């Protein structure tokens, strides 16, 4: 056990409510698991007790917290504990620990009524990955402490600067009862739980001020960078939706299998030696799979490799939309796909567009700006399209790293060019580009076709709109 894990355990004896934030990989879940054992073994036989565990999603309980409980059950020094090891048939089961006078169990965080009724003379509540547990769940849990003796631990890697877990750490009014702990990067590195090279790699890849580096490595609350187009919290919610879809067998709500509706691609191999990337979209709003092709500095090789991979996917899935970048060597991929009989469309980021934002007040200087801001609208948890994104840290860094450049006099929004992003972050947001081509590309093509009333439009030898 590390010094900071022991510190948290000691603090739980001093404070009724403890909120802990720490870098990814620092051993947060181990703290929670050990406290479950401590609570059970020190209260059983003396009083009625409960240990209630929940998390931001059921997967966290099923895949991480309760397997950790089982792991530490095998490692306990049973020779120093005045009872036999847990009986795996009657006591420690998959997601419950049921002893003589109490039990520990897992409860879904979206079931606040169950939590409110969880009373006991000695109650331990653990919120694991607490940053996006719904506010109603926090409120309901307050009712469980109305009688008896209770302890409450909320532990998480921080996320966006919003929500109850954030309010606790900033000691917002009404949150003064909570004792807060910030396990920092240097502590985690010194304890051997986090690699300094990993943290440095995050900083070099995404930037020192990026939400990915600040939350995962520094354990600081963060959202989009100043002038950022897409908030971190929106991406995290979209990734949670992907997990639900994936765990559900990649099916639609009616139980039928999801269908590939679009493929977006972005060619690498230019002067920057970028990866080529492919995004496969299901049901119009689920980015089911991301593929990367190793850097190929030779443009001809990069073009042919990507064209071959995309053609194979197009033959396999027959998507409605097949869209890729046509600036620079990307045009070669689109042309080659057409030679192979595919209805490939070219995404030209420099084109003007009639598309407006949701309010109808603002437009965009080009397809690139429209693509990024429309992607943000699609991710909006209140008014978006329920977009789901795979749990890729690289994609998260790409999407949260781009900055807006304000509005020009004609009421048109601008964003950084790919060259500006590469200069600032020393990398190109290739995964985000492929995703935007697949998700927003159809919207831009339909807007262009509508403006031209279905006529054929040719721009830089790449056709868009309705084909005739």
How do residues 35-68 score in pLDDT, each as one tens digit?
999 999 999 999 999 999 999 888 999 999 999 9
How do residues 183-207 score in pLDDT, each as one tens digit?
999 999 999 999 999 999 999 888 8
Does 195 fall in a domain?
no
Does 99 share its domain with 173?
yes
Does 130 share its domain with 279?
no
Question: What is the predicted pLDDT for the residue at 409?
Answer: 77
CB 50 within 8 A of CB 123: yes
The rounded distance, in Å, linking the Cα atoms of 154 and 149 is: 17
**Edge-to-edge strand order for the sheet containing 276-282?**
286-293, 276-282, 260-266, 321-325, 345-347
Question: What is the predicted pLDDT for the residue at 199?
Answer: 96
Confidence of residue 226 (pLDDT cuts 50, 70, 90): low
Confidence of residue 324 (pLDDT cuts 50, 70, 90): very high
Tell me what the mean pLDDT of segment 314-340 comes to: 92
CB atoms within 10 A of CB 315: 11
Does 237 share its domain with 295?
yes
How do residues 113-124 score in pLDDT, each as one tens digit?
666 667 788 999
Q: Say if residue 464's pLDDT is above 70.
A: no
How do residues 382-433 score in pLDDT, each as one tens digit?
888 999 999 999 999 999 989 899 998 789 999 999 888 888 877 788 999 9
Does 205 fall in a domain?
no
Does 165 share its domain with 293?
no
Query: What's the CATH number where 61 sits?
Result: 3.40.50.300
Q: Say if residue 465's pLDDT is above 50.
A: no
Does 417 share its domain with 322?
yes
Range of lowest pLDDT (62-71, 75-84, 136-145, 227-236): 136-145
Does 104 fall in a domain?
yes
| Angle between helix 430-439 and helix 393-401 axes, rounded to 10 deg | 80
Does 225 fall in a domain?
no
Question: What is the predicted pLDDT for the residue at 196?
Answer: 96
Across the chain, mean pLDDT equals 89
Does 82 share its domain with 18?
yes
What DSSP line would sit under 19-32, residue for residue? EEE--TTSSHHHHH
* Structural domain of 125: 3-190
Helix (H, G, I), strand (E, B) or coil at 173: coil
Of the residues 190, 212, 247, which one is the last residue of a structural domain? 190
Q: Say if residue 454's pLDDT is above 70.
A: no
Does 212 fall in a domain?
no
Question: What is the predicted pLDDT for the residue at 143?
Answer: 74
Does 434 fall in a domain?
yes
Of the residues 158, 175, 190, which one is the last residue of a structural domain? 190
Residues in the chain: 468
Does 173 share its domain with 304?
no
Does 328 fall in a domain?
yes
Range of lowest pLDDT (179-183, 221-225, 338-342, 354-358): 221-225
Does 177 share its domain with 279?
no
DSSP 44: T
Query: What's the CATH number where 383 sits?
Result: 3.30.420.240
The rounded distance, in Å, linking the Cα atoms of 78 and 313 is: 55
Domain tally for the chain?
Answer: 2
The rounded distance, in Å, linking the Cα atoms of 135 and 133 is: 7
Q: Say if residue 297's pLDDT is above 60.
A: no
Does 153 share its domain with 284?
no
Question: What is the predicted pLDDT for the residue at 467?
Answer: 32
Question: What is the predicted pLDDT for the residue at 263?
Answer: 98
Confidence of residue 225 (pLDDT cuts 50, 70, 90): low
User: By CB neighbour count within 10 A (0-12 exposed, 13-18 middle, 19+ buried), where does 87 fall?
Assistant: exposed
Does 256 share its domain with 177?
no
Does 181 share its domain with 236?
no
Over pLDDT 70: what percentage of the chain? 91
Does 317 share its domain with 418?
yes
User: By CB neighbour count within 10 A (0-12 exposed, 13-18 middle, 19+ buried), where does 144 fall?
Assistant: buried
Does 422 fall in a domain?
yes
């Amino acid at each position: 056990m590390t010094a900071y894990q022991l510190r948290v355990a000691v603090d739980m004896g001093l404070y009724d409510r403890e909120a802990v934030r720490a870098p990814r990989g620092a051993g947060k879940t181990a703290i929670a698991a050990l406290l479950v054992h401590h609570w059970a073994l020190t209260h059983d036989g003396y009083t009625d007790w409960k240990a209630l565990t929940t998390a931001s999603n059921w997967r966290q309980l099923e895949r991480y917290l309760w397997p950790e409980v089982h792991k530490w059950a095998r490692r306990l020094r049973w020779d120093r504990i005045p009872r036999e090891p847990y009986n795996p048939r009657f006591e420690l089961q998959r997601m419950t620990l049921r002893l003589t006078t109490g039990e520990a169990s897992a409860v879904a965080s979206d079931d606040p009524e169950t939590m409110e009724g969880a009373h006991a003379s000695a109650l331990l509540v653990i919120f694991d990955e607490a940053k996006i547990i719904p506010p109603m769940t926090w409120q309901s849990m307050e009712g469980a402490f109305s009688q008896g003796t209770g302890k409450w631990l909320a532990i998480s890697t921080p996320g966006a600067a919003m929500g109850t877990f954030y309010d606790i750490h900033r000691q917002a009014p009404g949150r003064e009862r909570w004792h807060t702990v910030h396990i920092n990067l240097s502590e985690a590195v010194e304890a051997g739980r986090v690699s300094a090279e990993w943290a440095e790699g995050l900083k070099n890849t995404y930037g020192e001020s990026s939400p990915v580096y600040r939350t995962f490595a520094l354990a600081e609350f963060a959202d989009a960078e100043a002038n950022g187009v897409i908030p971190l919290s929106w991406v995290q919610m979209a990734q949670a939706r992907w997990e639900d879809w994936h765990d559900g067998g990649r099916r639609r709500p009616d139980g039928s299998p999801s269908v590939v509706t679009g493929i977006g691609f972005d060619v690498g191999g230019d002067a920057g030696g970028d990866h080529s990337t492919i995004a496969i979209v299901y049901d119009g709003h689920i980015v089911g799979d991301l593929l990367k092709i190793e850097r190929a500095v030779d443009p001809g090789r990069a073009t042919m490799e990507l064209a071959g991979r995309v053609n194979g996917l197009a033959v396999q899935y027959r998507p409605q939309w097949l869209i890729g970048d046509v600036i620079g060597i990307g045009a070669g991929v689109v042309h080659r796909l057409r030679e192979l009989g595919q209805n490939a469309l070219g995404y030209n980021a420099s084109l003007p567009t009639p598309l407006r934002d949701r309010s109808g007040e603002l437009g965009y200087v080009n397809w690139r700006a429209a693509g990024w801001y429309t992607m943000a609208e699609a991710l909006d948890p209140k008014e978006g399209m329920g977009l789901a994104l795979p749990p890729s840290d690289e994609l998260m860094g790409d999407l949260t790293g781009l900055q807006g450049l304000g509005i020009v006099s004609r009421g048109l929004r601008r964003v950084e060019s790919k060259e500006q992003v590469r200069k600032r972050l020393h990398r190109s947001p290739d995964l985000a580009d492929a995703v935007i081509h697949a998700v927003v590309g159809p919207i831009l093509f339909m807007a262009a076709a509508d403006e031209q009333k279905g006529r054929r439009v040719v721009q830089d030898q790449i056709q868009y709109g309705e084909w005739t």
